[in-house]
Amino acid sequence: MKKLVRVILAFTFGILVNTSIAQDLELWYHRPAEKWVEALPIGNGRIGAMIFGGIDEDRIQFNEETLWTGSVRNYNRQNAWRYLDSIRNLLFAGKQREAEELAEREFMGIKSAEGDKEAWIEHVTAVLKQNANPSQYNYNDASWKTIKVPSYEGWEVQGFEGMDGAVWFRYYFQLPKEWEGKNLILDLNRVSEYDFTYINGALVGSQYNTQARRYEIPASLLKKGKNSIAILVLNFSGKGGILGYKDTTQHIGLYPKGSIVSEKLSLNGEWKYYIQDDDPPPVGQYQASYQPFGDLNLDFDINIAAVSNYKRSLDLSNAIATTQYDYNGVHYKREYFASAPSQTLVVHLSANKNAAISFAAGLSSPHKKYSLQKINANTVALTVSVKHGALYGVSYLMVQTDGGRIDVCNEKVVISNANTATLYLTAATNFVSYNDVSGQPDSICRSIIDKVQQSTFSDIRKAHIAEYQQYFNTFFIALGNEAQRLRQQQKPTDLRLAAFVHNDDPSFLALYVQYGRYLLISSSRPGTRPANLQGIWNDLLSPPWGSKYTTNINLEMNYWPADLLNLSPMQQPLFEMIKELAVTGTETAKQYYNAPGWVLHHNTDLWRGTAPINAANHGIWVGGAAWLCDHLWQHYLYTLDKKFLEQTAYPIMKSAAQFFNAFLIKDPKTGYLISAPSNSPEHGGLVAGPTMDHQLIRNLFQSVIKASEILKKDDEFRDTLKNKVDSIFPNKIGRYGQLQEWMEDVDDTTNKHRHLSHLWAVYPGSEINWEQTPELMKAARQSLVYRGDEATGWSLAWKINLWARFKDAERAYKLIQMLLSPVKGGAGSYPNLFDAHPPFQIDGNFGGAAGLGEMLLQSHAGFLEVLPALPAALSNGWVKGLLARGGFEVEINWKSGQLQYVIVHSKAGMPLKLRYQGKEVAVNTVKGGVYKFSAALQQL
Instruction: DSSP for 2-71, please give it.
Output: HHHHHHHHHHHHHHHHT--TT---EEEESS---SGGGSEEEE-SSEEEEE---SSEEEEEEEETT-BS--
Query: What are the pLDDT digits (tens) for 662-714?
Result: 999 999 999 999 999 999 999 999 999 999 999 999 999 999 999 999 999 99
Query: CB under 8 Å to 458, separation ≥6 — which residues?
Result: none
Residue 238: its pLDDT value, please? Answer: 87
Residue 260: its pLDDT value, please? Answer: 78
| Contact criterion met (CB below 8 Å) for 652 and 579 | yes
Confidence of residue 210 (pLDDT cuts 50, 70, 90): confident
| Contact criterion met (CB below 8 Å) for 380 and 363 | yes
Instruction: Write the single-letter amino acid at 464.
Output: H
Provide the whole-model pTM. 0.94
**Statement to judge: residues 170 and 248 lie in one domain:** yes
**Statement to judge: residues 338 and 442 lie in one domain:** yes
Query: What are the pLDDT digits (tens) for 45-88?
Result: 999 999 999 999 999 999 999 999 999 999 999 999 999 999 99
User: Which CA distances in Å does 170 have to 229, 733, 777?
Assistant: 6, 60, 61
Query: Is 9 a residue whose pLDDT tops 50?
Result: no
Query: What are the pLDDT digits (tens) for 354-409?
Result: 999 999 999 999 999 999 999 999 999 999 999 999 999 999 999 999 999 999 99
Residue 2: its pLDDT value, please? Answer: 43
Is residue 3 a part of any domain in this protein?
A: no
Residue 161: its pLDDT value, please? Answer: 87
Closest by alpha carbon to 323, among 351, 360, 293? 351
Question: The domain that contains 317 carries what CATH number?
Answer: 2.70.98.50
DSSP state, residue 645: I
| Contact criterion met (CB below 8 Å) for 230 and 200 | no
User: Which CA distances in Å does 496 have to 46, 499, 508?
Assistant: 31, 5, 7
**Statement to judge: residues 126 and 178 lie in one domain:** yes
What is the average pLDDT across 903-931?
97
d(CA 341, CA 105): 49
Query: Is 864 a residue whose pLDDT tops 90?
Result: yes
Residue 6: its pLDDT value, please? Answer: 42
The residues that bridge with 371 in the sheet, in sequence order, are 383
Determine the 3-state secondary structure of 890 from DSSP. strand
Query: What are the pLDDT digits (tens) for 549-580?
Result: 999 999 999 999 999 999 999 999 999 999 99
Which of 726, 754, 785 lies at the terminal end of a domain, its last residue?
726
Closest by alpha carbon to 675, among 656, 686, 690? 690
Which of 693, 710, 726 lies at the terminal end of a domain, its last residue?
726
Is residue 35 a part of any domain in this protein?
A: no
d(CA 883, CA 756): 26
Is residue 769 a part of any domain in this protein?
A: no
Task: Calculate what percentage of the chain has a pLDDT beyond 90.
Answer: 93
β-pairing verdict for 864-866 and 912-916:
parallel
- Domain extent, residue 105, equals 82-109+555-726
Instruction: Write the single-letter amino acid at 486.
Output: L
Closest by alpha carbon to 903, among 559, 471, 476, 567? 476
Query: What are the pLDDT digits (tens) for 572-589?
Result: 999 999 999 999 999 999
Cis bond leading into 150, ω under 30°? yes
The residues that bridge with 58 in the sheet, in sequence order, are 298
**Statement to judge: residues 293 and 433 lie in one domain:** yes
Confidence of residue 486 (pLDDT cuts 50, 70, 90): confident
Query: CB under 8 Å to 525, separation ≥6 — which residues?
Result: 44, 45, 46, 340, 570, 573
d(CA 864, CA 938): 15
**Statement to judge: residues 143 and 174 lie in one domain:** yes
Query: Is 439 a residue whose pLDDT tops 80?
Result: yes
What is the average pLDDT across 302-330?
97
**Statement to judge: residues 331 and 435 lie in one domain:** yes
| Contact criterion met (CB below 8 Å) for 61 and 382 | no
Closest by alpha carbon to 474, among 563, 597, 372? 563
Closest by alpha carbon to 68, among 512, 547, 435, 525? 547
What is the average pLDDT across 792-817?
98
Alpha helices in 69-153 (DSSP H): 84-92, 96-106, 117-125
User: What is the separation of C-alpha 43 from the centre of its chain, rounded to a whole number of angstroms?
Assistant: 15
Which of 726, 741, 767 lies at the terminal end of a domain, its last residue?
726
| Contact criterion met (CB below 8 Å) for 399 and 411 | no
Angle at 482 between CA 481 and CA 488, to 5 degrees: 95
Residue 21: its pLDDT value, please? Answer: 53
d(CA 315, CA 478): 16
Query: What are the pLDDT digits (tens) for 719-753?
Result: 999 999 999 999 999 999 999 999 999 999 999 99
Is residue 600 a part of any domain in this protein?
A: yes
| Contact criterion met (CB below 8 Å) for 757 and 624 | no
Determine the 3-state secondary structure of 507 from DSSP. helix
Is residue 851 a part of any domain in this protein?
A: no
Residues 346-363 as b or e (16 or more Cβ within 10 Å = b): bbbbbbeeeebbbbbbbb
**Statement to judge: residues 225 and 311 lie in one domain:** no
Query: Is 18 a residue whose pLDDT tops 60?
Result: no
User: Which CA distances in Å does 489 have to 3, 169, 407, 480, 501?
Assistant: 41, 50, 42, 12, 16
Residue 503: its pLDDT value, please? Answer: 85
Instruction: DSSP for 910-924, please give it.
Output: --EEEEETTEEEEE-
| Contact criterion met (CB below 8 Å) for 200 and 231 | no
**Statement to judge: residues 590 and 715 lie in one domain:** yes
d(CA 688, CA 96): 9
Query: What are the pLDDT digits (tens) for 371-386?
Result: 999 999 999 999 999 9
**Statement to judge: residues 589 and 709 lie in one domain:** yes
**Statement to judge: residues 86 and 152 lie in one domain:** no
**Statement to judge: residues 300 and 420 lie in one domain:** yes
What is the average pLDDT across 144-161?
93
Is residue 132 a part of any domain in this protein?
A: yes
Query: Is 4 a residue whose pLDDT tops 90?
Result: no
Query: Is 10 a residue whose pLDDT tops 80?
Result: no
How do the residues of the chain divide into helix, strand and coil, expressed in percent and rounded to 5? 30, 30, 40
Closest by alpha carbon to 97, among 684, 920, 499? 684
Question: The domain that contains 585 carries what CATH number?
Answer: 1.50.10.10
Considering its fold, how many domains does the chain have in total?
3
Is residue 653 a part of any domain in this protein?
A: yes
Residue 753: its pLDDT value, please? Answer: 94
Question: The domain that contains 150 carries what CATH number?
Answer: 2.60.120.260
Is residue 34 a part of any domain in this protein?
A: no
**Statement to judge: residues 445 and 588 lie in one domain:** no
Query: Is 14 a residue whose pLDDT tops 80?
Result: no
Query: CB under 8 Å to 705, separation ≥6 — which residues?
Result: 718, 721, 722, 725
